[in-house]
Amino acid sequence: MTFAAAVTERTRHLKTRLCVGLDPRLKAYRDVDHLRAHTLDVLEVTAPLAACVKPQLAFFEALGLRGFALLEEVCAAARLLGLPVILDGKRGDIGSTAEAYAQGWLGGPHAGDALTVNPFLGFGTLTPFVEAGRRNGGAVFVLVKTSNPDQADLQGHGVSERVAAEVARLGAEEDGEYAGVGAVVGATHPRDLAAFRALMPRALLLLPGLGAQGAAAADLAPAFHPGGTGALASASRAVQYADGLDVAASREAARRLRDELNAALG
Protein backbone atom coordinates (compact mmCIF):
# COMPACT_ATOMS: atom_id res chain seq x y z
CA MET A 1 0.00 0.00 0.00
CA THR A 2 1.31 3.46 -0.87
CA PHE A 3 1.87 6.15 1.74
CA ALA A 4 -1.07 8.17 0.40
CA ALA A 5 -3.42 5.19 0.57
CA ALA A 6 -2.18 4.08 4.00
CA VAL A 7 -2.50 7.48 5.66
CA THR A 8 -5.94 8.05 4.11
CA GLU A 9 -7.14 4.64 5.27
CA ARG A 10 -5.85 5.38 8.77
CA THR A 11 -7.62 8.76 8.74
CA ARG A 12 -10.92 7.09 7.91
CA HIS A 13 -10.52 4.10 10.23
CA LEU A 14 -9.31 5.99 13.32
CA LYS A 15 -11.07 9.27 12.54
CA THR A 16 -7.90 11.30 12.98
CA ARG A 17 -6.22 13.91 10.78
CA LEU A 18 -3.48 14.68 13.30
CA CYS A 19 0.19 14.40 12.38
CA VAL A 20 2.32 14.21 15.53
CA GLY A 21 5.65 15.96 15.09
CA LEU A 22 8.69 14.77 17.01
CA ASP A 23 11.24 17.53 17.71
CA PRO A 24 13.56 16.02 20.36
CA ARG A 25 15.44 19.07 21.67
CA LEU A 26 18.49 18.00 23.65
CA LYS A 27 18.38 21.01 25.97
CA ALA A 28 15.06 19.74 27.37
CA TYR A 29 16.67 16.54 28.71
CA ARG A 30 19.36 15.34 31.10
CA ASP A 31 21.19 13.51 28.32
CA VAL A 32 20.65 11.60 25.07
CA ASP A 33 19.38 8.51 26.88
CA HIS A 34 16.68 10.60 28.56
CA LEU A 35 15.80 12.18 25.19
CA ARG A 36 15.54 8.75 23.57
CA ALA A 37 13.26 7.30 26.23
CA HIS A 38 10.91 10.29 26.26
CA THR A 39 10.68 10.53 22.48
CA LEU A 40 9.79 6.85 22.14
CA ASP A 41 7.27 7.14 24.98
CA VAL A 42 5.55 10.09 23.30
CA LEU A 43 5.42 8.17 20.04
CA GLU A 44 3.83 5.16 21.72
CA VAL A 45 1.14 7.00 23.67
CA THR A 46 0.10 9.29 20.80
CA ALA A 47 0.12 6.68 18.02
CA PRO A 48 -3.53 5.61 18.48
CA LEU A 49 -4.58 9.26 18.09
CA ALA A 50 -2.50 10.08 15.01
CA ALA A 51 -2.74 9.54 11.28
CA CYS A 52 1.05 9.76 10.92
CA VAL A 53 4.21 10.90 12.68
CA LYS A 54 6.70 13.53 11.49
CA PRO A 55 10.24 13.39 12.93
CA GLN A 56 12.09 16.66 12.35
CA LEU A 57 15.47 15.57 10.95
CA ALA A 58 17.38 18.59 12.28
CA PHE A 59 17.01 17.50 15.89
CA PHE A 60 18.19 13.98 15.15
CA GLU A 61 21.10 15.19 13.02
CA ALA A 62 22.19 17.49 15.85
CA LEU A 63 22.83 14.40 17.98
CA GLY A 64 25.34 12.92 15.54
CA LEU A 65 25.55 9.16 15.11
CA ARG A 66 23.33 8.54 18.12
CA GLY A 67 20.69 10.69 16.50
CA PHE A 68 20.72 8.64 13.31
CA ALA A 69 20.45 5.46 15.38
CA LEU A 70 17.51 6.93 17.27
CA LEU A 71 15.85 8.00 14.03
CA GLU A 72 16.02 4.43 12.75
CA GLU A 73 14.56 3.25 16.07
CA VAL A 74 11.75 5.79 15.87
CA CYS A 75 10.89 4.78 12.29
CA ALA A 76 10.92 1.07 13.20
CA ALA A 77 8.74 1.68 16.26
CA ALA A 78 6.29 3.75 14.23
CA ARG A 79 5.92 1.00 11.65
CA LEU A 80 5.26 -1.58 14.36
CA LEU A 81 2.49 0.76 15.55
CA GLY A 82 1.10 1.01 12.01
CA LEU A 83 1.99 4.69 11.84
CA PRO A 84 3.22 6.15 8.50
CA VAL A 85 6.37 8.27 8.81
CA ILE A 86 6.97 11.69 7.22
CA LEU A 87 10.59 12.80 7.55
CA ASP A 88 10.68 16.59 7.78
CA GLY A 89 14.01 17.33 6.09
CA LYS A 90 13.08 19.97 3.48
CA ARG A 91 15.72 18.53 1.18
CA GLY A 92 16.42 20.03 -2.22
CA ASP A 93 19.45 20.08 -4.51
CA ILE A 94 20.56 19.48 -8.07
CA GLY A 95 21.59 16.43 -10.04
CA SER A 96 23.42 13.62 -8.30
CA THR A 97 23.15 15.37 -4.92
CA ALA A 98 19.37 15.34 -5.11
CA GLU A 99 19.54 11.68 -6.15
CA ALA A 100 21.67 10.90 -3.09
CA TYR A 101 19.27 12.70 -0.76
CA ALA A 102 16.36 10.83 -2.32
CA GLN A 103 18.14 7.50 -2.00
CA GLY A 104 19.02 8.12 1.64
CA TRP A 105 15.73 9.49 2.91
CA LEU A 106 13.23 7.60 0.74
CA GLY A 107 15.01 4.27 0.33
CA GLY A 108 17.86 3.89 2.82
CA PRO A 109 18.02 2.15 6.21
CA HIS A 110 16.70 5.22 8.02
CA ALA A 111 14.22 6.16 5.28
CA GLY A 112 10.75 7.44 5.94
CA ASP A 113 7.57 6.74 4.03
CA ALA A 114 7.50 10.38 2.92
CA LEU A 115 9.85 13.36 2.86
CA THR A 116 9.38 17.13 2.76
CA VAL A 117 11.25 18.65 -0.19
CA ASN A 118 12.25 22.16 -1.23
CA PRO A 119 11.49 23.17 -4.86
CA PHE A 120 13.24 26.53 -4.88
CA LEU A 121 16.26 25.36 -6.91
CA GLY A 122 13.87 24.66 -9.78
CA PHE A 123 11.19 22.12 -10.56
CA GLY A 124 13.64 19.75 -12.21
CA THR A 125 15.25 19.17 -8.82
CA LEU A 126 12.04 17.47 -7.65
CA THR A 127 12.41 14.63 -10.15
CA PRO A 128 14.78 12.36 -8.15
CA PHE A 129 12.59 12.68 -5.06
CA VAL A 130 9.35 12.03 -6.91
CA GLU A 131 10.84 9.03 -8.71
CA ALA A 132 12.24 7.56 -5.48
CA GLY A 133 8.90 8.00 -3.77
CA ARG A 134 7.10 6.26 -6.60
CA ARG A 135 9.56 3.35 -6.67
CA ASN A 136 9.08 2.74 -2.96
CA GLY A 137 5.37 3.50 -2.61
CA GLY A 138 6.30 6.63 -0.69
CA ALA A 139 5.50 10.31 -1.09
CA VAL A 140 7.01 13.76 -1.15
CA PHE A 141 5.54 16.91 0.34
CA VAL A 142 6.67 19.93 -1.67
CA LEU A 143 7.02 23.25 0.14
CA VAL A 144 4.31 25.48 -1.31
CA LYS A 145 3.36 27.99 1.41
CA THR A 146 5.31 27.45 4.64
CA SER A 147 4.07 28.32 8.12
CA ASN A 148 6.74 30.86 9.12
CA PRO A 149 6.13 34.64 8.79
CA ASP A 150 9.25 35.17 6.65
CA GLN A 151 7.85 32.94 3.90
CA ALA A 152 6.35 36.06 2.32
CA ASP A 153 9.84 37.23 1.30
CA LEU A 154 10.03 34.57 -1.42
CA GLN A 155 6.68 32.79 -1.56
CA GLY A 156 4.49 35.80 -2.30
CA HIS A 157 3.69 37.40 -5.67
CA GLY A 158 2.24 34.21 -7.12
CA VAL A 159 5.28 32.02 -6.46
CA SER A 160 3.40 29.61 -4.20
CA GLU A 161 0.68 29.31 -6.81
CA ARG A 162 3.27 28.39 -9.47
CA VAL A 163 4.64 25.67 -7.19
CA ALA A 164 1.09 24.44 -6.51
CA ALA A 165 0.48 24.13 -10.24
CA GLU A 166 3.59 21.95 -10.57
CA VAL A 167 2.45 19.76 -7.68
CA ALA A 168 -0.90 19.31 -9.40
CA ARG A 169 0.82 18.48 -12.71
CA LEU A 170 3.03 15.83 -11.11
CA GLY A 171 0.08 14.36 -9.25
CA ALA A 172 -1.95 14.08 -12.44
CA GLU A 173 0.59 11.51 -13.70
CA GLU A 174 -0.52 9.05 -11.00
CA ASP A 175 -3.54 6.89 -10.32
CA GLY A 176 -5.33 6.50 -7.00
CA GLU A 177 -7.44 8.73 -4.82
CA TYR A 178 -4.46 10.83 -3.75
CA ALA A 179 -1.13 11.21 -5.49
CA GLY A 180 2.29 10.58 -3.99
CA VAL A 181 3.17 14.25 -4.56
CA GLY A 182 1.70 16.33 -1.75
CA ALA A 183 2.20 19.89 -0.57
CA VAL A 184 3.21 21.71 2.59
CA VAL A 185 0.76 24.57 3.21
CA GLY A 186 1.04 26.23 6.60
CA ALA A 187 -1.93 25.96 8.92
CA THR A 188 -1.01 29.55 9.82
CA HIS A 189 -2.57 30.70 6.51
CA PRO A 190 -6.23 29.72 7.02
CA ARG A 191 -7.56 32.25 4.48
CA ASP A 192 -5.45 30.64 1.74
CA LEU A 193 -6.39 27.01 2.36
CA ALA A 194 -9.46 26.85 0.12
CA ALA A 195 -7.52 28.29 -2.81
CA PHE A 196 -4.64 25.85 -2.45
CA ARG A 197 -7.06 22.97 -2.00
CA ALA A 198 -8.67 23.90 -5.31
CA LEU A 199 -5.29 24.29 -7.07
CA MET A 200 -4.11 20.83 -5.95
CA PRO A 201 -7.24 18.64 -5.88
CA ARG A 202 -5.42 15.28 -5.65
CA ALA A 203 -2.56 16.33 -3.37
CA LEU A 204 -2.37 15.49 0.30
CA LEU A 205 -1.81 18.77 2.16
CA LEU A 206 0.52 18.78 5.15
CA LEU A 207 -0.52 21.66 7.42
CA PRO A 208 2.24 22.55 9.93
CA GLY A 209 1.82 25.15 12.63
CA LEU A 210 -0.98 23.74 14.76
CA GLY A 211 -0.52 24.72 18.41
CA ALA A 212 2.80 26.40 19.20
CA GLN A 213 2.84 28.49 15.99
CA GLY A 214 -0.66 29.73 16.71
CA ALA A 215 -2.81 27.93 14.13
CA ALA A 216 -6.20 26.69 15.33
CA ALA A 217 -7.91 23.47 14.32
CA ALA A 218 -11.21 25.31 13.91
CA ASP A 219 -9.82 27.23 10.92
CA LEU A 220 -8.55 24.29 8.86
CA ALA A 221 -11.71 22.79 7.37
CA PRO A 222 -11.15 24.36 3.89
CA ALA A 223 -8.04 22.20 3.45
CA PHE A 224 -10.05 18.97 3.58
CA HIS A 225 -12.28 17.17 1.14
CA PRO A 226 -15.79 16.06 2.09
CA GLY A 227 -15.44 13.17 4.49
CA GLY A 228 -12.42 14.76 6.16
CA THR A 229 -9.64 13.39 3.97
CA GLY A 230 -6.92 15.07 1.94
CA ALA A 231 -5.00 16.91 4.66
CA LEU A 232 -2.90 16.26 7.75
CA ALA A 233 -2.57 18.89 10.47
CA SER A 234 0.78 18.77 12.23
CA ALA A 235 1.58 19.69 15.84
CA SER A 236 5.03 19.15 17.35
CA ARG A 237 5.90 21.18 20.44
CA ALA A 238 2.22 21.40 21.40
CA VAL A 239 2.21 17.61 21.78
CA GLN A 240 5.73 16.48 22.69
CA TYR A 241 6.18 19.24 25.28
CA ALA A 242 2.55 19.89 26.13
CA ASP A 243 3.45 20.12 29.83
CA GLY A 244 7.19 19.82 30.11
CA LEU A 245 8.11 16.15 29.80
CA ASP A 246 4.82 14.78 31.09
CA VAL A 247 3.98 11.93 28.70
CA ALA A 248 0.37 11.76 29.87
CA ALA A 249 0.01 15.44 28.96
CA SER A 250 1.33 14.67 25.48
CA ARG A 251 -1.33 11.99 25.06
CA GLU A 252 -4.07 14.35 26.21
CA ALA A 253 -2.82 17.14 23.94
CA ALA A 254 -2.95 14.77 20.97
CA ARG A 255 -6.44 13.65 21.96
CA ARG A 256 -7.63 17.25 22.26
CA LEU A 257 -6.19 18.27 18.89
CA ARG A 258 -7.65 15.20 17.21
CA ASP A 259 -11.06 16.02 18.65
CA GLU A 260 -10.80 19.69 17.69
CA LEU A 261 -9.97 18.77 14.10
CA ASN A 262 -12.91 16.37 13.99
CA ALA A 263 -15.21 19.03 15.40
CA ALA A 264 -14.02 21.55 12.80
CA LEU A 265 -15.03 19.14 10.06
CA GLY A 266 -18.49 18.59 11.52
Q: Which residues are catalytic?
A: 90
If one counts every other C-beta atom within 10 angstroms of the C-beta of residue 3, the result is 26
Question: Dihedral sign, CA of 189, 112, 17, 166?
Answer: positive
Angle between helices 32-46 and 247-264 (to 10 degrees): 40
The angle formed by the CA atoms of residues 39, 32 and 206, to the nearest 5 degrees, is 35
- The whole-angstrom separation of Cα 178 and Cα 198 is 14
Question: Which ranges of the chain would DSSP assign to H, the alpha helix?
Answer: 3-14, 32-46, 57-61, 65-80, 95-107, 127-135, 152-155, 159-171, 193-199, 237-240, 247-264
Q: Which amino acid is at 134?
A: R
Residue 243 contacts by C-beta under 8 Å, 6 or more apart in sequence? 249, 250, 253
